[in-house]
Structure 1
Amino acid sequence: MAALAAMTLAALPAGAEDMKAFKLSIDGVAVDIDPGESLDVTLPGGKQAKVRLDRNAFATFSGEAFSFVHPSGISVTKTDLGSGIMQYLMASALGTIVVVQEYGKMNPVSLDQLMLQQMTKESVQAGAELTQQKATRKLADGKELTGIRATVKTRTESADYEIVGFGLPDRGLLFITRVDGENVETEKPLIDKFWESLKIKL
């Protein structure tokens, strides 16, 4: 068995661990390539072509009932929370988060306060001060979201939250953003792009 394993490993090509992020196919010829990389490719018939793969600055992410534009370098993860709830999470390197929750069986607009309590519970228990106010946000297509904005502040740091929703009697969406106070200016373009480009398909 050990000998078989050794033979299998020996058969792997050198550099096999150096996997590329994308596979690009041109006229039936496939090459592995990373963003920003250029390659010379021999096409059928012997013609030489130079190909390059560049990443766009922004990409559109679409769920079943919404879409938004985000920096292409930040991925959006999808999690099934059960009970007809899908969650989509985008998180930046600085800890800024954007969460979209799709509810397939209920209108989630009234859950804003519960969601805020869940997200700030530990900080408040540790002595942080929580302030909040009602909030509305109008999207580019005129749809109006309602909810709350809040700030959690300790002696040395703070975090800003916005939790707003849009719903029909039996389904809806909840949108949550969180930004550390020290990163508000740096992360503002990320949050602004999300709200400016957000489209609801309900």
Structure 2
Amino acid sequence: MRHGTKMAGIVAVMLVSTPAVSEDLKAYKLTIDGVSVDIDPGEDATVTLPNGKDARVRLERNAFATFSSSSFSFVHPSAVTVTKTNLPKGIDQHLMASAVGSMVIIQEYSDMNPVMLNRLMLQEITKESVRAGGKLTQKAGSRKLADGTVLKGLTATVKSRTDQVAYEVMSYGTADQGVVVITSLDDDNAAADRPMIDKFWQSLKLRMGE
């Protein structure tokens, strides 16, 4: 019995001696003149510079950021990340998706003109919804960018019993390169996510042949 009591006392001492809370890790490291401090967006911190002077710093996130690739660029909300996936046959896929699933997909082709792929891409991105009973309607469409470049393709909707999703599949290409652009916007989330889609189209720039 005394042995058990002694072990309980040791465990109690260990628990008291262990720090209750560990320091939280920060998302960013800010470096000024060789001095670094860990910091999160919106936080203030004090940095002691090599000359001994304290500097008060603050890290803030801009509302928008520019994503650039070899053949295009666009502006997006800085809180929404753009991911890149390398696909076979010289294709890079870039995806921007909101928290509720609205999407922009850009497939970048480095060795072919993809303008004939619009209908295939639309079928691929809507096939699961159609198999589940959704009704697909589509028509020819186009998008004119700020610099006058025109992308051509299809606009479509898939309507089910509970929701409706709008799609655009547009493409542009030269002799041996190009892009296919796909956007997806659910009617239920249009109020929140349409500004993201609109900002994308307003800011999209293509650099074919550069």
TM-score (structure 1 length as normaliser)? 0.90
In the other structure, the counterpart of 1:65 is 71
Tell me if 1:38 matches 2:44.
yes
Identical positions, percent: 59
Q: 1:187 aligns with which of 164, 183, 193?
A: 193
Could you report, residue by residue, the CA deviation over 1:150-173 in whole angstroms, capped at 9, with x for unpaired residues? 000011111110000110011100
CA distance in 1, matches of 2:22, 2:176: 50
Q: 2:88 aligns with which of 82, 85, 97?
A: 82
- Summarize the Cα distance change of 1:80–1:16 in structure 2 as closer, same or farther, 3 Å threshold: farther
- Summarize the Cα distance change of 1:35–1:104 in structure 2 as closer, same or farther, 3 Å threshold: same
Structure 1 residue 17 displacement after superposition: 6.8
In the other structure, the counterpart of 2:133 is 127
Q: 1:143 aligns with which of 145, 149, 170?
A: 149
In the other structure, the counterpart of 1:98 is 104
Q: 1:111 aligns with which of 104, 117, 121?
A: 117
Contact 2:36 2:47 in 1 (8 A): no
Which aligned pairs between 1:148-187 and structure 2 lie closer than 5 A? 148-187=154-193
Letter in 2 for 1:184: A
CA distance in 2, matches of 1:188, 1:59: 17
What is the number of residues matched between the two proteins?
190
CA distance in 2, matches of 1:38, 1:15: 21
Could you report, residue by residue, the CA deviation over 1:87-146 in whole angstroms, capped at 9, with x for unpaired residues? 000000111000011001111111110011111112112221100010011000000000
Which aligned pairs between 1:43-58 and structure 2 lie closer than 5 A? 43-58=49-64
Q: Structure 2: state its 5+ residue gaps.
A: 1-19
CA distance in 2, matches of 1:152, 1:137: 20
Structure 1 residue 185 displacement after superposition: 2.4
Letter in 1 for 2:205: K
Bigger radius of gyration, 1 or 2? 2
CA distance in 1, matches of 2:151, 2:190: 22
Structure 1 residue 19 displacement after superposition: 2.2
CA distance in 2, matches of 1:89, 1:18: 30
Could you report, residue by residue, the CA deviation over 1:10-39 in whole angstroms, capped at 9, with x for unpaired residues? xxxx97773221111111111111100100
Runs of 4+ in 1 over 4 A off after TM superposition: 14-17
Contact 2:135 2:158 in 1 (8 A): yes
Q: Structure 1: state its 5+ residue gaps.
A: 1-13
Could you report, residue by residue, the CA deviation over 1:44-69 in whole angstroms, capped at 9, with x for unpaired residues? 12101100000000000001100000
TM-score (structure 2 length as normaliser)? 0.87
